[in-house]
Chain A
């Protein structure tokens, strides 16, 4: 089954404790992206990757890191989480960027930083 998986689905952590949210897709897509969703704001792009070892900042990259060492994986790293990073996070992938390609979204990761 074609899918994007994210882990963990729910995470409660404390300020400053490094964490990684994993994202994996099994469709051999070149493009992957991370978003955060906050009430009343829609989705905002954090980082995206056009292919292995090619990443770029989205609209809200501060406080986040990403890496794309393999085509299927695109982890989101919070080196020192803060309460303002409490949010719902989505990973997405598509064959070649947005264009006319369908984007596939992961189920979301709800992060709470205390």
Chain B
């Protein structure tokens, strides 16, 4: 099956810093999504981005499907950005394979 690797596993930054999270996947996919899980466990969609670039406020994501990776950029980090960021990929609209996540801690 498809393997999903996220890096780094942990990241600690000061408020205001920028960060880049990476997601590598082992096979071609037609579905790639980024999620955020806050420290209280709530999961939220960030991006649906099987290819190309998208931006939403301070967050942006880029997927290079031909090279099998995606990047999530967070600019001017805030403490509310803390949590775990997951990348999930799939070949269908009904199943996603999730990475292990990147745990981000933003210190005030």
Q: At the interface, yes or no: B52 with Cβ under 8 Å from chain A?
A: no
Binary CB contact string for chain A from 79 to 111 against chain B (1 if under 8 A, 0 otherwise): 000000000101010001111101101011000
Q: At the interface, yes or no: B25 with Cβ under 8 Å from chain A?
A: no
Interface residues of B in 17-46 (CB under 8 A from A): 31, 33, 41-45
Q: How far apart sit A88 and B86, CA to CA, in the bound complex (Å)?
A: 16
Interface residues of B, count at CB 8 A: 23
B101 contacts A42, C-beta separation under 8 Å = yes
Q: At the interface, yes or no: B95 with Cβ under 8 Å from chain A?
A: yes
B41 contacts A97, C-beta separation under 8 Å = no
Residue of B41, B88, B93 touching A88 (CB-CB under 8 A): B41
Q: At the interface, yes or no: B106 with Cβ under 8 Å from chain A?
A: no
B26, chain A: closest CB distance, angstroms: 15
Q: How far apart sit A58 and B42, CA to CA, in the bound complex (Å)?
A: 22
Contacts of A97 in B (CB 8 A): 92-94
Binary CB contact string for chain B from 82 to 108 against chain A (1 if under 8 A, 0 otherwise): 000010101011111111110000000
Q: How far apart sit A14 and B68, CA to CA, in the bound complex (Å)?
A: 43
A103 contacts B100, C-beta separation under 8 Å = no
Contacts of B97 in A (CB 8 A): 59
4 more contacts with CB within 8 A, not counting A42-B4, A98-B92, A100-B48, are A42-B88, A42-B100, A58-B95, A59-B95
Contacts of B90 in A (CB 8 A): 98
Q: How far apart sit A37 and B103, CA to CA, in the bound complex (Å)?
A: 14
B94 contacts A31, C-beta separation under 8 Å = yes
A103 contacts B45, C-beta separation under 8 Å = yes
Q: At the interface, yes or no: A50 with Cβ under 8 Å from chain B?
A: yes
Q: At the interface, yes or no: A114 with Cβ under 8 Å from chain B?
A: no
